Amino acid sequence: MQYLLMIYSKEGAWERMSPTEQQQGMAAYGAFTEALKMSRVLIGSNRLRPASTATTVRVANGKSQVLDGPYADTKEQLGGYYLIDVADLDAALAWAARCPGASHGIVEVRPVWSTAG
């Protein structure tokens, strides 16, 4: 089954970190990504730019409304994701727990609505 691991964390925390801390953070994510690749479960992953760069679009009554900012103005924002393919939820949760994002934020695990068949 495919699962999307979504990393939610406090906006701006990264910028406030010292260069050494940032380096350690990058290394931790790098190692995690490498481990996913070695286990042949990684389908895709990306880091997102801060929510301040987000724009929302909604079409109502034929008019599109474009607004500056993210969908939900919360303290924690989606900062990146991993798409993985594993046997079941427990396996997905085990990977989520290893994700550095689970230590500095929250990782939401969502099964992908499969269209295979």
Under the rule (CB under 8 A), what is the footprint of another protein?
1, 3, 87-90, 92-93, 111, 114-117
Q: Which amino acid makes up residue 97?
A: A
Cβ contacts of 92-95, under 8 Å, gap ≥ 24:
92/1, 92/3, 92/5, 95/5, 95/36, 95/41
CB of 114 to another protein, least distance (A): 7
By beta-carbon proximity to another protein, the closer residue of 78 and 96 is 96
CB of 42 to another protein, least distance (A): 18
CB of 117 to another protein, least distance (A): 4
By beta-carbon proximity to another protein, the closer residue of 63 and 113 is 113
C-alpha torsion angle, residues 94, 35, 1, 6 (rounded to 10): 70
Give the three-class secondary structure for 117: coil
CB of 88 to another protein, least distance (A): 4
By beta-carbon proximity to another protein, the closer residue of 18 and 115 is 115
By beta-carbon proximity to another protein, the closer residue of 3 and 95 is 3
DSSP state of 11: T
Strands of 48-85, DSSP E? 55-60, 63-68, 76-85
